Amino acid sequence: MDEGNLAAVMTAIQNRSATAFAIFADSGGTGRPAPHTAPDTTATADLVTRLNTISGLGIGISAINPHLGDDADQLLNASTPFSPGFSSLVRGGFFHHLSKVPALNSLYLNTLPLANPAALQDGVYGVLIPSVQSYGGTGACVMAFTDLTLLENRAYLATNANKIGPPIIAAARAAGACSMAVDLVPTISGPSAPTVGIPAPYTVVVTKQGALTSIDGTVAITLPADLVLEPSVPTGCIRDSDTLMTCDLAVLAPGGLPNGGSVTIPFSATPSRVAPGASISVAVSGVANESNTLNNSTQMAIIASAGAGTGTGTGTSTGVATGVGTGVGTVVTGVPTLSQYGQLLLVLSMLSMGAFHFRSIKASNKPRR
């Protein structure tokens, strides 16, 4: 494809000019030198770059020997939720495979069953990137194959008849594979400046995008050391410690969630002191078939407030009154204090005044002559 045309296609995918795009790359090489023994990875590398730009997955080029001959069957990964509607196998030739592809996105592979479904897959022939995973959820769905020969008018056309176009069209429909997958996005709301000693209410909302209704995984809510969880927590959640609560999404939404549905997790916490720079963290993990994990966490900055009140104190008189105050109150500043010398002068002055007062009384009590 002409580079300018390819750039226009990438822009269309990013802007979701259509619901879905199908890419068939001639990954065997820049040519077909007889007897097909000198392939290169130029076209494959270009496809990998485009797919990673779209999805951010980090896909690579497989070290598996490329299929240089014709008639190479590629098998459907039935474990991915995107597989319904696609043919159990397709046939192609003279192509490279992809590597480092999540099992969720691996549509066709060279070998099945998957040795480790939780691992990144090697020997991938076809990938599907749902819309929630394309350009961070704003792009179009992409189905890409590392082969162009599966559409050629040879044995491929007879073998692959009705195995390519109809499934791709079905995947692009409203309830098709392109709108599937799960993307959970957490948010948190509540007072950013709670008052010390007073419980503050907070709400975590986890919203699901994608057509798959099943939902599982865990929501972990982590509080700073000076913000303590109240004892009461919602059903489906566990108060692991004063500063950690974990919630089971399968319990919170036992019947699953529709596209755009959400679960709400309310809780209260009490700040013990003013602690600037602290934050509440929310993280979602362990979600099966989640296609976008880049938005699985969020934070909320917390700056506790000392509040307002009246200080109280008690003291004993030992010549000079002293006292200890407790409570939260208004601090008065700017009142002058006496140094030790000033206090001495004050005492001497008071003694002088006392002596003068004593002499005045004594003189007034003398009998008049």
Domain around 60: 3-179
> So what's the pLDDT on residue 41?
83
Do 166 and 192 share a structural domain? no
Do 117 and 26 share a structural domain? yes
Q: Return the structure tokens found at 302.
A: 């917390």
Do 150 and 15 share a structural domain? yes
Report the C-alpha gap between 163 and 213 in whole angstroms: 27
Last residue of a domain, one of 302, 327, 359: 302
> So what's the pLDDT on residue 336?
44
On the CB side of 133, how many CA atoms lie within 13 Å of its CA? 28
Task: Tell me which H or E stretch contains 325.
Answer: strand 320-326
> So what's the pLDDT on residue 322?
33
> So what's the pLDDT on residue 251?
94
**Is the peptide bond between 191 and the residue preceding it cis, with omega within 30 degrees of 0?**
no
Radius of gyration of the chain (CA): 37
Q: What is the CATH number of the domain that holds 260?
A: 2.60.40.290
Is residue 199 one of the residues assigned to a domain?
yes
Do 160 and 29 share a structural domain? yes
Do 221 and 159 share a structural domain? no
Do 189 and 101 share a structural domain? no
Do 159 and 208 share a structural domain? no
On the CB side of 358, how many CA atoms lie within 13 Å of its CA? 6
Do 155 and 11 share a structural domain? yes
With a cut of 70, list the residues of the chain below it in pLDDT.
Answer: 1-4, 29-39, 68-70, 155, 304, 307-369
Is residue 78 one of the residues assigned to a domain?
yes
Is residue 257 one of the residues assigned to a domain?
yes
Is residue 277 one of the residues assigned to a domain?
yes
Is residue 43 one of the residues assigned to a domain?
yes
Distances (CA, A) of 344 to 338, 348, 357, 358: 9, 6, 20, 21
Is residue 322 one of the residues assigned to a domain?
no
Q: Return the structure tokens found at 339.
A: 């140094």
Is residue 200 one of the residues assigned to a domain?
yes
Give Cβ neighbours of residue 45 (< 8 Å, ≥ 6 apart): 61
150 dihedral zone (left: phi>0; alpha: psi -120 to 50; beta): alpha
> So what's the pLDDT on residue 2?
61
| Cβ atoms 312, 330 nearer than 8 A | no
Is residue 310 one of the residues assigned to a domain?
no
Last residue of a domain, one of 302, 332, 353: 302
* Total count of residues recorded for the chain: 369
Number of domains comprising the chain: 2
> So what's the pLDDT on residue 122?
95
Last residue of a domain, one of 134, 157, 179: 179
Do 191 and 150 share a structural domain? no
Do 158 and 213 share a structural domain? no
| Cβ atoms 195, 271 nearer than 8 A | yes
Do 157 and 142 share a structural domain? yes
Task: Tell me which H or E stretch contains 43.
Answer: helix 42-55
Give pTM, 2 decimals. Answer: 0.63
Do 166 and 66 share a structural domain? yes
